[in-house]
Amino acid sequence: MIYDAIIVGSGAGGGTIARQLALAGWNILIIERGGFLPREKENWDAEEVFQKGRYSPNETWLDKDEKPFVPGTHYYVGGNTKFYGAALLRLRERDFEEVEHYGGISPAWPLKYKDFKLYYQRAEELFEVHGARGEDPLEPPEEKPYPYPAVSHEPIIANIYSKLKKEGLKPFHLPLGIRLNEKHRENSLCIRCDTCDGYPCLADAKSDAHHICIAPILKLPNVHLLTNTKVERLIAKNNEIAEVETDTGKRFQAKRFIVSCGAINSAALLLRSELANRSGQVGRHYMCHNNSAIVALSKEKNNVTFQKTIGINDFYFGAEDSKLPLGHIQLLGKVKGAMLAGDAPWFTPKFATEWMADHAIGWWITSEDLPNPNSRVMVKGDQIHLHYQPTNLEAHKRLLKKLKMILNFSGHRIHFPMTAYLAKKIPIAGVAHQVGTCRFGHDSHTSVLDIHCKAHDLKNLYVVDGSFFPSAGAVNPALTIIANALRVADHLIATS
């Protein structure tokens, strides 16, 4: 069998392109190294998910000192979208241009917001994003409304929202890919629970790539899915990929090959295959954002269920005391004792972490990290090495100060970092926002992919996960990955 396309990986990028090509009638084979995530009570058990690592991969990578770590990534049908917080934001219009930062320059993209606009809208429709246009002060231009109304704030969050507004900030309803119908709860897949951000959804109601993209096409006769099968190598003949070799020893052939293993694993696959790397750029410019999770305490009990409904972009491109960009702030999902115990084991006994979690509110702050050729993925044999050099930390420090100010406004005066990402303490295992290892561009000497995400060096190899980002912006990456996969799918269908 020679497939029209083989797609490696079924996450945000791979799942989306698989859906599009399948609906266009292509005969496709999806090869996914993970299986279907089991539906079980433990899906919503914080201790199982965060402390015991029930769904964590059974592998270690090495940092630059050869120290092993278990990467914070997941191998299942649907990829990391099975676990994501489903905050689905567009990059800002200026993110596509060259932007000066404290740590240097964030480079311009070869395409601009106008080239992605239509695909962002389609991505929001496909992933059923719930949001409210016109609230986010830096929202890029869009005439159409979000496909679904914003997820409402619970009273405690509504209170914080109005306090921030009173202080002159412009908090907005965070756009979310959860399938919640607040008007007709009897028809709602989502039950609005307190175990969403970082957990798989037991109610199958999160807009993940498994349920949105893969499940609906599995019944089609032109769609074939191989699970629990890792692609080890791509094999080329005369500037074209001819076949893939899997860890089961089997080989599969196709006219086109679409790699979407996540930015780190895709780079590792190309490096193992010794392909697409004439420029020497594969694996370089790894970015993952400067992220911090902050837990703030108040005297009152926080009885919120679904907490992740506020976003703040007032400091994204700067502030009164900063000409340069600082980044994005959003609420985290409900903080649980088991999460605190995982991050702060000194807070034993259990009742202490449970009490804290009951009185806590969690925030997530994201600043841009900048592409650095020495932040890179390498492979030796089958072993992944991840060398990461933090950049632009000044912006992150300043953003943290802004969050402290916000906490003072909201009455949450005691706070501590759940995971300190500042200075030298960046945990390299935090690869959730991985992008940039096979960037796209016009110049084959400085980029791996062309503007259609085809490898410059090969006629039939495409990469559609987060690898293609030339810069990371400071909003969560999944919507841009999905929009780009829709764009590349259109190109492939139009040119086939």
Residues within the interface to ligand FAD (CB under 6 A): 8-14, 31-34, 72, 75-76, 79-81, 83-88, 198, 230-231, 260-263, 265, 269, 432-433, 465-466, 476-479, 481
Residue nearest to ligand FAD (CB): 11
* Cβ–Cβ under 8 Å, residues 457 and 280: no
CA atoms of 199 and 276, how far apart (whole Å): 35
Least spacing, CB of residue 413 vs ligand FAD, in Å:
27
Contact partner, 191, from ligand FAD, ligand SF4, none, Cβ < 5-8 Å per class: ligand SF4
CA atoms of 236 and 390, how far apart (whole Å): 35
Number of residues counted as binding ligand SF4 (CB under 6 A): 12
Contact partner, 466, from ligand SF4, ligand FAD, none, Cβ < 5-8 Å per class: ligand FAD
Does residue 340 touch ligand SF4 according to CB under 6 A? no
Half-sphere CA count of 67, side-chain side, radius 13 A: 7
Provide the pairing of β-strand 223-226 with 231-237: unpaired
Phi, psi of 487 (to 5 degrees): -65, -45
- Tokens (6 digits) for 64: 């630059």
Provide the pairing of β-strand 251-259 with 2-8: parallel
Contact partner, 265, from ligand FAD, ligand SF4, none, Cβ < 5-8 Å per class: ligand FAD
- Tokens (6 digits) for 359: 């009185």
What residues pair up with 366 in beta bridges, in sequence order?
291, 328
Nearer to ligand SF4, 306 or 421 (CB): 306
Secondary structure in 3-state letters for 144-170: CCCCECCCCCCHHHHHHHHHHHHCCCC
Per CB under 6 A, which of residues 407..446 are in contact with ligand SF4? none
Among positions 88, 178, 267, 357, the unique one binding ligand SF4 when judged by CB under 6 A = 178
Does residue 151 touch ligand SF4 according to CB under 6 A? no
Residue 20: which H helix or E strand, with range? helix 12-23
Does residue 268 touch ligand SF4 according to CB under 6 A? no
Per CB under 6 A, which of residues 199..238 are in contact with ligand SF4? 201, 203, 205-206
Provide the pairing of β-strand 251-259 with 240-246: antiparallel
Residue count of the chain: 496
Contact partner, 43, from ligand SF4, ligand FAD, none, Cβ < 5-8 Å per class: none
Contact partner, 384, from ligand FAD, ligand SF4, none, Cβ < 5-8 Å per class: none
Does residue 297 touch ligand SF4 according to CB under 6 A? no
| Interacting residue ranges for ligand SF4, rule: CB under 6 A | 178, 190-193, 195-196, 201, 203, 205-206, 306
